[in-house]
């Protein structure tokens, strides 16, 4: 009689067979004796064991071993009252197995989602289908407690390793679909017990599905399978089984889980044979379900043993890896614990000996030591705060959050350079030299810096100022700041406020916030270590404004010379003296800076560079930098003035020189590539020496034999000749070798003719569209963020008719220019009425005014006089004089208003080869401040009224 070993729901049950006839003889030569030797490795502990499956004694399947099945099975079930309760009185039930299991040829099909059931093993499954559960209970009541357990195939397109179907999902599949998803080979399973929806199955023998009988619940016809006959005395089978047992022994040394399996197996096995050994190894291994199904389907005993051997070998490797991982982690943890223990002991010993104080005392000593050098210079209110915070630090627990806040606060307070100033250099001559070395031109900026130094020298001390450098990109605003710091011998700190939207970046966070930090100025003072650095605030015209406040307003206190002597940072919460700091701000467009902030700064405009200045900058600065960057020697390349001029006029017309620098670097990179290619094709460089190919060397040697005495020896002859004994001769030989190496590569010449080979086709073409301006076309001057430019204003008539006088404007004009066009149209009618009273042109003609480059938006108050001249030229059929450009806004009474961007517009006129320029009289002072090389060769007229422009534009037509 078999007894059911009940355990907790988390454990798998096994059957025992204590009948005397089935006891195993402990013979040294038997196979089971070898397996039984494994048990000595551990004591059985069933309470702590977790079984994947355990062997059942009544699992005979008619194999060659000749063991038969019992006619009946008695099952002692603890807790049987919780089953379907037809007979709740009995605490045990006897389940008849008559007829024999092999007589069942039609069985219910149970799908197994995770692993196949092997003969002789328990497996609990959950049945969610009510019809199938009822059929199983009915079979058990009819004393026919058998069903077929078949592994479910994976869904098409999914991998078996990732398939995770639950029993609930399994039983959603029914009928023919379920039949097609089942593996053909399964196991005849006895229904041991049914508790709720949990069914415990015991495997008996292998089955093969032949056909489907009914669909719901799925019932199938089966054939009972038997192992192929085998010879129990076959040496190969014996050897394979012994190897399986040997591998099991090795695994047992590392895996306690396997020890529990083998203990239960050896204590409760009935008739031991080779097929059961193969099933046992496969059933308890961690292999995937397809590999286990392969073992289940294999009827050849030798092949089944081989498959099982592969699985247990893999388990052996996994166990070794697991053991090594566990050992490494254990060593690491034990090492850290040991180190921690020793450190604690060391602290205790040092404390007892008085060699070390606690953390709070050490921190206080560190802060006091850091403050000591600047204690006399430190303001009294700051010293008072530091002392209070040090006292507070001693009273706080080291583990509290307030302790960390106070420690960080003291760290910032004591690290700042209170009253520590760097020695400034007030040498004006030296400053002039440094500024000239770094930048060409920029007279206004250099003059302002020299004034600042001169005032500092006379007063004996320097006062901080706020200077704003405004101008197009690439004119050197940021690099000017570095040069000023070098000239004054001040520390330099730069931070950009472009896009800054958080006030805390400038004013700092409150200390109560997590991760609070001071603002940029406090960080600056900490980094530079002096209280009088030069601080460059970049892109001040691009300040953002977000939900965290208005940074432009936060900068008011920082950049106000009257307020920044007591600048208050939110984090430090003590006043800081920033009056000695020299602030230099940069901006592209001053109009974008808020007026209250702009009012606190001295604006120095940098208009840009004309072609002559760009030539000097390219020769003296950019070209040298490009040569060093690309590793090209000056004697290896020559860039002509014509090439540089073509580069400036046709590729780099913007006001700055950043784009010019990029193009020069591009030229030198291509030159470097050409030099390397030519050098690689002519010479081989090995460990610093030039070695020519053997054939060339032989030819050169031959030539040297017939060379004239005064001819210079070639590289190969220098190498093949004996080394000179005299050191002077050796030096001359090295110089000769170096000279010849340089001569091996031709000098690269960059001229206007081959400039396109280095930088591509020209980007810009001449802005001057007309050699002779036609009727209705006048050249105007405009200011852009990239500098100045010339643009034509064109007027033509659309149609004529009585009373059809009107004006249509195009060219992406802004509101200001549209209003200027209306004013110009009205004033032009008035002027034409004065000059030609009988000409009804404006009254009867619809005009179309266009400003070319329609894709470029244009706006600004300086195109009025140009528009009037264009309309009058069309009305009177008179072209304006050649090489004339004008700018200025006009009123309805004909008065000319001043404009901005005089230098940029003058530079644009020179670039377009304009000789005559008309400016408003109010701009005469701006023009007189321009450098002589900018004004050279220009005929400039300053006007107050449009009548003067009319005379200049039309009365001298004979000079065209």
Please give the pLDDT value at position 213. 84
- Least confident range of 12-21, 28-37, 193-202, 417-426: 12-21
Confirm or deny that 475 is annotated as ligand binding.
Answer: yes
Q: Give the chain's end-to-end CA distance (angstroms, integer).
A: 131
Query: 92-96, 298-302, 348-352, 901-905: which has the minimum mean pLDDT?
Result: 92-96
- The domain defined by 775-952 folds into Ribosomal Protein S5; domain 2 (3.30.230)
DSSP state, residue 206? E
Q: Write down the pLDDT at residue 710.
A: 41
Helices (H), 298-419: 301-353, 359-371, 380-395, 401-415
What fold does the segment set 609-674 form as a domain? Helicase, Ruva Protein; domain 3 (1.10.8)
Minimal CA–CA distance to 55: which of 328, 325, 266, 285? 266
717 is written with which tokens?
A: 């002859």
Say yes or no to pLDDT of 943 above 90. yes
Looking at domain 426-603, its CATH architecture is 3-Layer(aba) Sandwich (3.40)
Predicted confidence (pLDDT) at residue 192 exceeds the cutoff of 70: yes
pLDDT recorded at residue 768: 63
Residue 76 clears pLDDT 80, i.e. is over it: no
pLDDT for 822: 92
Q: At 62, phi and psi to the nearest 5? A: 70, 30
Q: Determine the Cα–Cα distance for residues 609 and 931; give it in Å rounded to an integer.
A: 11
Contact 778, 923 (CB under 8 A): no
Q: Is 478 annotated as a binding residue?
A: yes
Q: What is the pLDDT of residue 197?
A: 82
**Overall fold of domain 233-323:** Methane Monooxygenase Hydroxylase; Chain G, domain 1 (1.20.58)
Using DSSP's 3-state secondary structure scheme, residue 886 falls into: strand
Mean pLDDT is lowest, of 15-29, 124-138, 302-316, 728-742, for 15-29
Closest C-alpha among 762, 747, 746 to residue 643 = 762
pLDDT tens figures, 696-735: 443 434 434 333 334 333 333 333 334 444 544 545 555 5
Q: How many CA atoms, within 13 angstroms, populate the side-chain half-sphere of residue 391?
A: 6
Judge whether 579 counts as a catalytic residue: no
95 is in an annotated binding site: no
pLDDT given for residue 934 in this prediction: 82
Residue limits of CATH 3.30.230.10 in the chain: 775-952
Taking the CA atoms of the chain, what radius of gyration do you get in angstroms? 50
697 is annotated as an active-site residue: no
Give the least confident one: 214-218, 751-755, 838-842, 874-878: 214-218
Q: Which of 309-323, 446-460, 616-630 has the highest mean pLDDT?
A: 616-630
What is the mean pLDDT of the segment spanning 40-48? 37
Does 473 carry a binding-site annotation? yes
Q: What is the pLDDT of residues 365-388, one digit of tens each?
A: 888 888 888 788 888 888 899 889
DSSP 108-142: EEEEESS-PPPTTBEEEEE---HHHHHHHHHHHHT
Of 19-28, 221-230, 280-289, 483-492, the range with the lowest mean pLDDT is 19-28
> What is the predicted pLDDT for the residue at 16?
34
Q: What is the mean pLDDT of residues 76-86?
A: 36
- Measured CA to CA, the distance from residue 777 to residue 797 in angstroms comes to 12
pLDDT score at 256:
64
- Reply yes or no on whether the pLDDT at 868 is more than 80: yes
The CA distance from 313 to 248, in Å, is 9
- In this predicted structure, what is the pLDDT of residue 205? 82
User: pLDDT tens, 808-849?
Assistant: 999 888 898 999 999 999 999 999 888 888 888 888 899 999
477 is in an annotated binding site: yes
Give the start-end residues of each E strand in 484-532.
492-496
pLDDT digits (tens, 9 = 90+) for 843-855: 889 999 999 877 6
Name the 3-class secondary structure at 426.
coil
For the ranges 58-67, 592-601, 938-947, the lowest mean pLDDT is seen at 58-67
474 labeled binding residue: yes
Active-site residue identified among 60, 862, 870, 873: 862
Burial track 242-275 (b if 16+ CB lie within 10 A, e otherwise): eebbebbbbbbebbebbbbbbbbbbebbbbbbbb
- CA torsion 340-342-348-349 (nearest 10°) is -160
The CATH H-level (homologous superfamily) assignment of domain 100-153+170-222 is LON domain-like (2.30.130.40)
Q: Which position among 507, 520, 858, 905 bears the catalytic label? A: 905
- The predicted model gives 149-175 an average pLDDT of 64
502-506, 557-561, 890-894 — which one is most confidently predicted on average? 890-894
Write out pLDDT tens, residues 200-238.
888 888 888 888 888 778 888 888 888 888 887 788 888
CA dihedral 751, 755, 757, 758 (to 10 degrees): 110
What are the start and end residues of each CATH 3.40.50.300 domain in the chain?
426-603
The mean pLDDT value of the chain amounts to 76
CB 666 within 8 A of CB 625: no
What is the model's pLDDT at position 304? 84
Determine the average pLDDT of the residues in 394-417.
86
Burial 83-114 (b: 16+ CB within 10 A, else e): beeeeeeeeeeebebeeebeebeebbbbbbbb
């Amino acid at each position: 009689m078999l007894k059911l070993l009940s355990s907790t729901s988390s454990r798998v049950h096994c059957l025992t067979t204590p009948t005397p006839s089935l006891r195993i003889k402990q013979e040294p030569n038997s196979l089971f004796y070898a397996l039984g030797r494994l048990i000595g490795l551990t004591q059985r502990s069933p309470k702590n064991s977790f079984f994947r499956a355990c062997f059942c004694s009544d699992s005979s399947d008619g194999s060659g071993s000749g063991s038969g099945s019992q006619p009946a099975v008695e099952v002692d079930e603890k807790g049987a009252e919780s089953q379907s309760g037809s007979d709740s009185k009995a605490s045990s039930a006897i389940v008849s197995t008559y007829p024999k299991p092999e007589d069942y040829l039609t069985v219910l099909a149970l799908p197994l989602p995770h692993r196949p059931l092997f003969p002789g093993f328990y497996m609990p499954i959950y049945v969610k289908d009510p019809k199938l559960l009822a059929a199983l209970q009915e079979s058990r009541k009819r004393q026919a407690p058998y069903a077929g357990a078949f592994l479910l195939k994976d869904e098409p397109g999914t991998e078996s390793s990732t398939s995770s179907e639950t029993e609930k999902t399994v039983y959603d599949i029914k009928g023919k679909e379920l039949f097609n998803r089942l593996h053909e080979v399964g196991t005849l399973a006895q229904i041991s017990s049914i508790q709720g929806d949990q069914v415990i199955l015991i495997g008996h023998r292998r089955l093969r599905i032949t056909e489907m009988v009914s669909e719901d619940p799925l019932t199938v016809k089966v054939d009972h399978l038997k192992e192929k006959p085998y010879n129990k005395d076959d040496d190969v089978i014996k050897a394979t089984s012994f190897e399986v047992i040997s591998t099991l022994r090795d695994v047992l040394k590392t895996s306690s889980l396997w020890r529990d399996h083998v203990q239960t197996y050896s204590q409760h096995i009935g008739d031991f044979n080779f097929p059961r050994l193969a099933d046992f190894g496969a059933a308890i291994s961690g292999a995937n379900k397809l590999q286990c199904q392969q073992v289940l389907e294999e009827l050849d005993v030798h092949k089944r043993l081989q498959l099982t051997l592969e699985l247990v070998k893999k388990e052996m490797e996994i166990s070794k890896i697991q053991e090594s991982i566990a050992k490494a982690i254990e060593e690491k943890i034990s090492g850290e614990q040991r180190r921690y223990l020793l450190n604690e002991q060391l602290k205790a010993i040092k404390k007892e000996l008085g060699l070390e104080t606690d953390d709070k005392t050490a921190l206080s000593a560190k802060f006091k030591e850091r403050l000591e050098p600047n204690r006399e210079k430190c303001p009294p209110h700051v010293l008072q705060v530091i002392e209070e915070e040090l006292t507070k630090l001693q009273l706080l627990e080291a583990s509290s959050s307030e302790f960390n806040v106070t420690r960080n606060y003291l760290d910032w307070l004591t690290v700042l350079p209170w009253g520590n100033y760097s020695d400034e250099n007030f040498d004006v001559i030296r400053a002039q030299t440094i500024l000239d070395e770094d930048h060409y031109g920029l007279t206004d900026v250099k003059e302002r810096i020299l004034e600042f130094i001169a005032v500092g020298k006379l007063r004996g001390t320097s006062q901080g100022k706020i200077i704003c450098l405004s101008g197009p990109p690439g004119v050197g605003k940021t690099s000017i700041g570095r040069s000023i710091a070098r000239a004054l011998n001040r520390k330099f700190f730069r931070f950009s406020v472009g896009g800054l939207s958080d006030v805390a970046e400038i004013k700092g966070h409150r200390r109560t916030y997590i991760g609070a930090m001071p603002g940029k100025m406090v960080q600056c003072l900490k980094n530079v270590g002096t209280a009088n650095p030069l601080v460059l605030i970049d892109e001040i015209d691009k300040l953002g404004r977000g939900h965290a406040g208005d940074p432009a307003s936060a900068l008011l206190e920082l950049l106000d010379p009257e307020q920044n002597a007591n600048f208050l940072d939110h984090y430090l919460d003590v006043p800081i003296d920033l009056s000695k700091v020299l602030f230099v701000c940069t901006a592209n467009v001053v109009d974008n800076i808020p007026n209250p902030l702009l009012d606190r700064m001295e604006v120095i405009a940098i208009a840009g560079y004309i072609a002559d200045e760009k030539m000097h900058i390219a020769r003296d600065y950019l070209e040298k930098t490009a040569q060093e960057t690309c590793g090209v020697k000056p004697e290896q390349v020559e860039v002509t003035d014509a090439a540089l001029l073509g580069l400036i006029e046709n590729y780099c017309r913007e006001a700055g020189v950043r784009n010019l620098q990029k193009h020069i670097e591009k030229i030198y990179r291509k030159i470097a590539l050409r030099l390397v290619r030519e050098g690689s094709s002519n010479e081989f460089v090995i460990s610093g020496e030039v070695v020519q190919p053997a054939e060339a060397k032989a030819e050169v040697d031959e030539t040297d034999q017939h060379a004239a005495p005064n001819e210079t020896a070639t590289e190969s002859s220098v190498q093949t000749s004996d080394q000179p004994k005299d050191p002077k001769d050796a030096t001359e030989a090295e110089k000769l070798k170096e000279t010849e190496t340089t001569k091996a590569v031709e000098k690269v010449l960059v001229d206007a003719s081959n400039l396109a080979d280095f930088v591509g086709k020209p980007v810009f073409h001449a802005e001057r569209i007309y050699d002779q301006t036609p009727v209705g076309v006048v050249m105007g001057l405009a200011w852009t963020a990239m500098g100045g430019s010339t643009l034509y204003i064109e007027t033509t008539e659309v149609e004529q008719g009585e009373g059809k006088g009107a004006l249509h404007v195009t060219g992406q004009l802004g509101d200001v220019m549209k209003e200027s066009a209306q004013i110009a149209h009205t004033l032009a009618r008035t002027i034409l009425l004065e000059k030609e009273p009988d000409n009804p042109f404006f009254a009867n003609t619809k005009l179309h005014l266009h400003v070319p480059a329609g894709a470029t938006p244009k706006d600004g108050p300086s195109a009025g006089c140009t528009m009037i001249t264009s309309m009058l030229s069309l009305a009177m059929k008179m072209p304006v004089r050649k090489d004339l450009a004008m700018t200025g806004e006009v009123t309805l009474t004909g008065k000319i208003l001043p404009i901005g961007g005089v230098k940029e517009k003058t530079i644009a006129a020179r670039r377009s080869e304009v000789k005559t320029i008309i400016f408003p009289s109010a701009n005469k002072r701006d023009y007189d401040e321009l450098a002589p090389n900018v004004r050279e060769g220009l005929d400039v007229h300053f006007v107050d009224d449009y009548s003067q422009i009319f005379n200049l534009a039309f009365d001298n037509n004979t000079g065209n």
